[in-house]
Amino acid sequence: RIMLLIVLLCIIPTTISHGIPNMAARFFTRSQVRAQRLVGILAENANYYIRKLNVRVVNHLLSEDEKEHNINEFLTLECIRLDLWEPYVCKGMVDVFASELYFVAKRVNYTPEEVCGVFLNDCDPPVNPMQVLWKLQISGNKPAVKPWPLIDAPNKTMRVLQLSDIHVDRDYAEGSEADCLDGGPTIGLCCRNYPVTSSNKTIKSPAGKWGSLHHCDIPYRTFEQAMRHISETHKDLDYIIITGDLVSHDMWNFSEQLTKGTIANVTQILIKNFPNIPIYETVGNHEGVPSDAMASHNMDEYATRGPSWLYNVLADAWGRWISPESIKTVRYRASYVEYPSPGLKLISVNSIYCSKINFYIYINQTDPDDTLTWLISELLDSEAKGEKVHIISHIPAGLDVCLKGWSHNFYEIVNRFESTIAAQFFGHTHLDHFEVYYADSNSAGRATHMNFIAPSITTANYVNPSYRIYTIDGGYDGASYTVLDAETYATDIDIANANDEEPKWALEYSAKAAYGLSDLSPSSWADLISRLAVDDELFTKFHRYMFRSTHEENCVNEPECRQRYICSMKTAKSFEEDIFCPGS
């Protein structure tokens, strides 16, 4: 029960500003400073409970005859007393997460120090049970590494659209308060009309018609307009990938019914605008109810607590574009394989099984639902057949929100199958960046692979909406299916609101042209990292694109800040910054 209180007080800063704080200290910039006004307050209180364990709290929760509903009420009152949230948000967060956390708390035996280590890096002693390593075996020997194919004149190319982190808000309210993170008790997600509360003040930043560059998600009209624009402008799309998170960030209000409704609505908009284009999706953490809650089948009470309801909803929504066999694997683990083109296998991997906010995984984090074992099997099959593979997933394994065991195994899988995997596509952070993989986890050595982390459609965390189109060598026998270029498009929401006109979308940049890349091979991306470390103009450009031209400050002249960006691009393993960036 003590653990429950600690976790409840820690989960909120970890999840509510989802895109940016999940980057931990790697991206601490002005956009984050705004969110950190809130996170700082929460962290102080989390530290207080973790390290001091207020006697009144301990005595109350250790009462043997205490009922769960009484504990819920107590936690809600503590949340209100500490001014963490508005009262109804406090109540909602406890109501949504309490059952999951009670269930987990009864099945694990972590000490307060260990629980502290899950969320904070400066615990005493520094013990983090979520950094437990486990190792999967890959049968057979790794074939000789083939040089990365450099395609100067492809026989044929494919055009692939990536959408990520859509986060439509059914309750977005034009004219409501957009700047609600004011350092006091907060409503959690801005740009909404809320009940009368202490935050019910004169509106200083009215939410725009098309969205707002604050901690707000987007209205349906913006998503609909974006899809209409893409369908009318880009007539050459071969298929679409969507890397998760359709649902808004109001986690205290999550329910199966609301999530089902959002998935259905987004799917209908996609079908309306792209009736004849295949769409391949992967599940995001915000599709879970509670957020991130996706238990594996080996957990007791899976029938009532597991995510089967969600996986069935996804299978039904995706069934238009995937095979009956794929539908079966979606219903089991929300992962599947498809063949967008002869010789190309697309693997959609449920990476929410690596989320440290997926509390059910605390019970047994080793390869939930054998997902990585299944991935290895699919890669071995493709290796034997000479196929190329694209991986789509939500959470990049290099983020510290991804459990260390999963992350390290995924890294080894990518390196083992570096000649088979042609590309990887992720989302989750809402930002525009990438990670490079290295042989033997040595960032001074040979680059083996990289992943694209695509920007979001949502404005949450102060970024303009964006989408990306890849040009891929493919569609013919012997194609490499490597990415030849990545074009990122964005719109300026402030201009659309100011002019009372539909958002105008434009090419923001081509990766190849903007960064002076001769090709998009792993070695070229590794070389780009080296150049970003010393070239001020190039780093400024990268930083601007990362935030879609919304970021007013640049840490190009702040060595420590700049190094965090450089280190993040080298680190595709979670909790390993010291190894990939020694001395940083």
Do 207 and 173 form a contact (C-beta atoms < 8 A)? yes
The contacts of residue 505 (CB under 8 Å, 6+ apart) are 226, 229, 230, 233, 489, 490, 491
Pick the closest to residue 569 from 17, 2, 27, 206 (CA basis): 27
Residue 347's beta-bridge partner residues? 337, 391
> Whole-angstrom Cα distance, residue 388 to residue 541?
32
Q: Report residue 103 CA to chain centroid gap.
A: 25
* Side chain identity at residue 475, one-letter code: G
Q: Report residue 142 CA to chain centroid gap.
A: 30
Q: What 3-state DSSP class applies to 434? A: strand
Return the DSSP state at 565.
H
The contacts of residue 377 (CB under 8 Å, 6+ apart) are none
What is the Cα gyration radius of the chain?
A: 23
| 505-510 β-sheet, strand order | 279-281, 239-242, 157-163, 466-473, 483-491, 505-510
Q: Is 245 one of the annotated binding-site residues?
A: yes
> Whole-angstrom Cα distance, residue 95 to residue 222?
31
Q: Report residue 388 CA to chain centroid gap.
A: 25
Q: Report residue 418 CA to chain centroid gap.
A: 23
Q: Is 286 one of the annotated binding-site residues?
A: no
485 membership: H or E segment, kind and range: strand 483-491
Q: Is 18 one of the annotated binding-site residues?
A: no
Backbone angles phi, psi at 257, to 5 degrees: -65, -45
> Whole-angstrom Cα distance, residue 269 to residue 303?
32
Do 388 and 342 form a contact (C-beta atoms < 8 A)? no
60-74 b/e (C-beta count within 10 Å ≥ 16 → b): bbeeeeeeeeebbeb
Do 83 and 185 form a contact (C-beta atoms < 8 A)? yes
> Whole-angstrom Cα distance, residue 231 to residue 127?
51
> Whole-angstrom Cα distance, residue 464 to residue 492?
6
The contacts of residue 313 (CB under 8 Å, 6+ apart) are 259, 260, 263
Q: Is 428 one of the annotated binding-site residues?
A: yes
The contacts of residue 458 (CB under 8 Å, 6+ apart) are 165, 166, 167, 168, 217, 218, 430, 465
What does the block give as tokens for 260?
């089902």
Q: Is 285 one of the annotated binding-site residues?
A: yes
Residues at the binding site for Zn(2+) are 165, 167, 245, 285, 394, 428, 430
Residues at the binding site are 165, 167, 245, 285, 394, 428, 430
